[in-house]
C-alpha cells in the first residue's frame, strides 16, 4: 500500500548523488535480482552493463514505496529494457527465471566463490574457472601459485566471508585509536565506508586517519603497523606510500577510483570477545579464552588535514554514490572530483573545503548525510 504517496508526483533524479537512499528500503525483492545481473556482468568484465543494472537497482532503493505495477515505473530514470523485463517477471511471477538460473549456474557460483577470496579479482577468477577450478579448496588441492595476499585470502577464507558486525568494528576502532594515539598524539580517526553509512554488517572495517597539524601525518602508517605487529594484532598487511602530487594528479586525468593516500590493506587478529561466545554465553569448548580470535579485513587510510574533507567524502561510499558524484562533477559542473581534491576546470583552480557540506555546496548539490548515501 502506497500510503499517501502519489506515484506521479515522485521526481526521481538521475544521479545517485542527487537522491536520498536509505539503508532499508521497500524493494529488495527487485534490487537483489538486478544486483545478481550486475554481478554476473562484472564477472564477464562488462563494466558498463554491470553499472547499468546497479543503477536500476539503486533507483528502486530510493523509492518511498514497494513497486506493485509496471505503471509505477514509467517516470523513473535508469531502467533499461532488460531491467524492466526482469522487474515485470518478478511482479507477475514472484521470481525471475533468468536471474534464478543465473544464480544457480556453476559459473556464477564459482566466480562468486573465487572472487570472494581476498586478493583475487575477476581476471584471475575467470582464468581459474576456465582451468576447471571452482573453489578455494580446488586451489589448494591443485597447488596453484598464489601471491602473499591470496595466500592469506585462502587461509582465512571462511572468516573473511563472515560479515563483520558493528560491534566488532567498534572493537577494532578501539584498537586502532590506541595504536594511533600511542604513535602520534593528537591524531584523529574516523570510521568510514559502510559502517559510517549506518550498516550493521560489513565485509571489512574502514578507517581514515589525519592530524590537525599538516605534515604530522607523513609516514604515520609504518609506525601504526609496528605498534600493531609488536602486539601480534595483524595477520596480514600491505602498506602503500602516499604518492599524491597535486600538480600531476587531479585535473585532466580521467576520474580514477583508486586514490593515492598512504594506506594499508590488512587482516586483523581480533581477540575473543562477547560475541564469540554462544547464545548461552558459553564459549565453544575447543577454544580457551586466550586462544580465541577471528580474522577481520581492515582498511586504514592516512590523509593530510587539508584533504580530509575530500577523503571523508571519498571513503564513505557507497561505490555507486561516489561514481555518480564524480560523474556529476565532470558532466554537469566541469569539475574534477577525487578523494584528494576538487578542481574547477572553468575557473582553473582547486577548491578548498573543510567539510563535506562545503563540497556538496560547491558542486551545487543538496547535502546528503552518510546514512542516505546507500545508493
Ligand atoms: P569498501 O570497504 O569496499 O565498501 P563499503 O564499506 O561501502 O561496503 P562493505 O560493507 O562491503 O565494506 O569501500 C569503502 C569506500 O572506500 C568506497 O566508497 C570506495 C572507497 N575506496 C576508495 O576511495 N579507494 C579505494 O582504493 C578503495 C578500495 C575504496
Ligand atoms: Mn539487455
Ligand atoms: Mn568497507
Ligand atoms: Mn574497504
263-301 pLDDT per residue, tens: 999 999 999 854 445 555 555 555 666 679 999 999 999
What is the distance in A from the centroid of ligand 3 to the CA of 192? Answer: 7
Considering only residues 207 and 287, tell me which one the structure prediction assigns the higher pLDDT: 207
pLDDT at 251 over 80: no
Is it the case that residue 1 has pLDDT exceeding 60?
no
Q: What is the pLDDT of residue 245?
A: 83
pLDDT of residue 272: 84
User: Which residues make Cβ contacts (< 8 Å) with residue 27, sequence separation at least 6?
Assistant: 60, 61, 63, 66, 67
Residues at Cβ < 5 Å from ligand 4 ion: 204, 206, 299
Contact 302, 220 (CB under 8 A): yes
Catalytic residue among 204, 249, 259, 324: 204
Determine the pLDDT at residue 87.
98
The verdict on whether 206 is a catalytic residue reads yes
Cβ atoms of 210 and 305 closer than 8 Å = yes
Model confidence over 49-62: pLDDT tens digits? 999 999 999 999 99
Active site residue 71: no
Q: State the ipTM, two decimals.
A: 0.94
Query: What digits encode the pLDDT tens for the residues 308-338?
Result: 999 999 999 999 999 999 999 999 999 999 9
Mean pLDDT of the chain: 93
Which atom of ligand 1 approaches the CA of 319 most closely? Answer: 18
Domains of the chain: 7-102 (1.10.150.110), 106-160 (1.10.150.20), 164-306 (3.30.460.10), 314-372 (3.30.210.10)
Residues with CB under 6 A from ligand 1: 193-194, 199, 202-204, 206, 257-259, 314-315, 317-319, 322, 339
CA of 162 to the centre of ligand 3 (A): 13
Q: Which ligand 1 atom is nearest residue 314's CA?
A: 23
Q: Is 204 a catalytic residue?
A: yes
Confidence (pLDDT) at 211: 98
Amino acid at each position: 500500500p502506497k500510503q499517501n504517496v502519489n506515484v506521479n508526483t515522485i521526481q526521481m533524479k538521475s544521479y545517485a548523488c542527487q537522491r536520498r537512499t536509505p539503508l532499508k528500503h521497500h524493494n529488495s525483492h527487485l534490487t537483489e535480482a538486478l544486483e545478481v545481473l550486475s554481478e554476473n556482468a562484472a564477472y564477464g568484465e562488462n563494466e558498463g552493463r554491470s553499472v547499468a543494472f546497479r543503477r536500476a537497482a539503486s533507483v528502486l532503493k530510493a523509492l518511498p514505496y514497494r513497486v506493485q505495477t509496471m505503471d509505477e515505473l514509467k517516470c523513473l530514470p535508469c531502467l533499461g529494457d532488460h531491467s524492466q523485463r526482469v522487474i515485470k517477471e518478478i511482479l507477475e511471477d514472484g521470481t525471475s527465471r533468468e536471474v534464478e538460473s543465473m544464480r544457480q549456474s556453476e559459473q556464477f557460483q564459482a566466480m562468486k566463490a573465487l572472487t570472494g577470496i581476498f586478493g583475487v579479482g575477476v581476471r584471475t577468477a575467470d582464468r581459474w574457472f576456465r582451468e576447471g577450478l571452482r573453489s578455494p579448496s580446488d586451489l589448494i588441492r591443485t597447488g596453484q601459485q598464489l601471491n602473499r595476499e591470496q595466500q592469506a585470502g585462502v587461509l582465512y577464507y571462511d572468516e573473511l566471508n563472515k560479515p563483520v558486525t558493528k560491534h566488532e568494528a567498534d572493537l577494532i576502532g578501539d584498537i586502532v585509536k590506541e595504536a594511533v594515539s600511542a604513535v602520534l598524539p593528537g591524531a584523529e580517526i574516523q570510521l568510514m565506508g559502510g559502517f559510517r553509512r549506518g550498516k550493521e554488517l560489513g565485509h571489512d572495517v574502514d578507517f581514515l586517519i589525519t592530524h590537525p597539524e599538516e605534515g604530522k601525518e607523513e609516514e604515520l602508517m609504518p609506525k601504526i603497523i609496528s605498534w600493531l605487529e609488536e602486539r601480534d594484532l595483524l595477520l596480514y598487511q600491505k602498506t602503500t606510500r602516499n604518492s599524491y602530487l597535486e600538480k600531476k594528479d587531479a585535473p585532466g586525468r580521467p576520474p580514477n577510483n583508486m586514490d593515492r593516500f598512504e594506506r594499508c590493506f590488512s587482516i586483523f587478529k581480533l581477540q575473543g570477545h562477547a560475541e564469540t561466545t554462544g547464545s548461552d554465553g558459553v564459549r565453544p569448548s575447543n577454544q580457551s579464552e586466550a586462544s580465541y580470535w577471528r580474522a577481520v579485513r581492515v582498511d586504514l587510510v592516512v590523509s593530510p588535514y587539508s584533504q580530509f574533507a575530500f577523503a571523508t567524502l571519498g571513503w564513505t561510499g557507497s561505490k555507486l554514490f561516489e561514481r555518480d558524484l564524480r560523474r556529476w562533477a565532470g558532466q554537469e559542473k566541469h569539475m574534477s572530483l577525487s578523494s584528494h581534491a576538487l578542481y574547477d576546470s572553468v575557473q582553473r583552480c582547486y577548491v578548498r573545503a573543510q567539510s563535506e557540506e562545503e563540497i556538496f555546496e560547491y558542486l551545487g548539490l543538496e547535502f546528503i548525510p552518510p546514512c542516505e548515501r546507500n545508493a
